[in-house]
Amino acid sequence: MIKRFEWGIFRYLTFGRILNAALVLTSYQISRLIRRPVVWGGPWSVSLEPTNHCNLKCPECPSGLGELTRPLGLVRPDAFKLYAGSLKKHAFYVQLFFQGEPFVNTYLPELIRIAHQSRLYVAISTNGILLTPDRIEALLKDPPDKLIFSIDGLDEETYRNYRIGGTFSAAFSGLSEIMKHKKAGRLPHTFVEFQFIVMKQNEHQIPEVLKLGKRLGVNKVTLKTMQVYSTASAEYFLPQNEKYRRYSLDASGLRIKGTFKNDCFALWRSAVITWDGNAVPCCFDKDARFVFGNVSQTPFLTLWKNSAWQTFRQDLMMDRSRLEMCRNCTEGVRINIV
């Protein structure tokens, strides 16, 4: 298995950001001890959603299926500047993805540049299909620090089983083109990850995926377990090999393996901002059901400690199982998700 560390992150650490991380860790431990949320500092990692539009229709994705009830759109550079600027004191890691395909937003190269001006490490997860040679040229001017390619099949039939509307040839061509530039030294700092969601329909290709990752020279190959929402989907998609399942499935239904604690470190270390500026707790809140305010109107750190966010943390510490999305979440559970 190819698995290297993202050393590039260290280039973005400053004394203030390290001190912030120490405050986050300390306040989280105090909160666990007294069973009340004490929040110091700000999250060190934030997802900023470039767009919630997608070019594919993957069957277990609310964005691809058109099931999101929140408005569809894309962030423009001016608004993004405000979002990134409000995070730079405490955060060093920005995930330029949430729902949707980031490269649908044609401002993406400019968004990366703005994030870099705020000294933020930029990670992007893509299906790779829109990474045509022209777009890659635009990206090379100020490349992201990390590119994750989600490709879940090594031939057209397997690939199209889940990535509805896409083709393996287009996705693979995006990844190969990037690796060509990386080998030529044009992406010296970009960490490339090949991510493969393991399903019943593709698990036979795992040995080939590992060989291909090695041949391409990617920095990491990730075999990811799949998130599903119903017993029917579990029966259709979950692989035979238990090692690649995050759920147990029996007569009593579908459950995350392992035991939950009434706890969630993600609510101290990270946050998500949707394309239109809404601050939501985590990447499991795909339809933004828990909005704590909008960063276009209120500074992020004010929202981070407001009563709505604190009540959410407190409720979770009382009983995590009351929240439906938290029951289908692997945070803090010791099981294999990647």
Sole window of 47-55, 102-110, 186-194, 318-326 interacting with ligand SF4 (rule: CB under 6 A): 318-326
Counting contacts by CB under 6 A, is residue 331 touching ligand SF4? yes
Counting contacts by CB under 6 A, is residue 284 touching ligand SF4? yes
Q: Which is nearer to ligand SF4, 164 or 335 (CB)?
A: 335
Packed helices 133-140 and 168-183: angle between N→C axes, nearest 10 degrees: 40
Shortest Cβ distance from residue 249 to ligand SF4 (Å)? 20
User: How many angstroms separate the Cα of 96 from the Cα of each of 52, 120, 144, 156, 299?
Assistant: 12, 11, 9, 28, 20
Shortest Cβ distance from residue 70 to ligand SF4 (Å)? 17
Sole window of 4-12, 210-218, 245-253, 259-267 interacting with ligand SF4 (rule: CB under 6 A): 259-267
Three-state SS for 137?
helix
Counting contacts by CB under 6 A, is residue 337 touching ligand SF4? no
Sole window of 34-42, 198-206, 299-307, 319-327 interacting with ligand SF4 (rule: CB under 6 A): 319-327
Phi, psi torsion values for 7, nearest 5 degrees: -60, -25
Q: Which helix (H) or strand (E) holds 249?
A: strand 247-250
Shortest Cβ distance from residue 92 to ligand SF4 (Å)? 20
Counting contacts by CB under 6 A, is residue 325 touching ligand SF4? yes
Three-state SS for 212?
helix
Q: Which is nearer to ligand SF4, 88 or 269 (CB)?
A: 269
Counting contacts by CB under 6 A, is residue 326 touching ligand SF4? yes
Q: How many alpha carbons fall within 13 Å on the CB side of residue 75? A: 36
E strand intervals along 51-190: 93-95, 121-126, 146-150
Amino acid at 77: P
Counting contacts by CB under 6 A, is residue 264 touching ligand SF4? yes
Counting contacts by CB under 6 A, is residue 39 touching ligand SF4? no
| Cβ atoms of 220 and 2 closer than 8 Å | yes
Give the residues lining the site for ligand SF4 (CB under 6 A): 264, 266-267, 281-282, 284, 316, 320, 323, 325-326, 329, 331
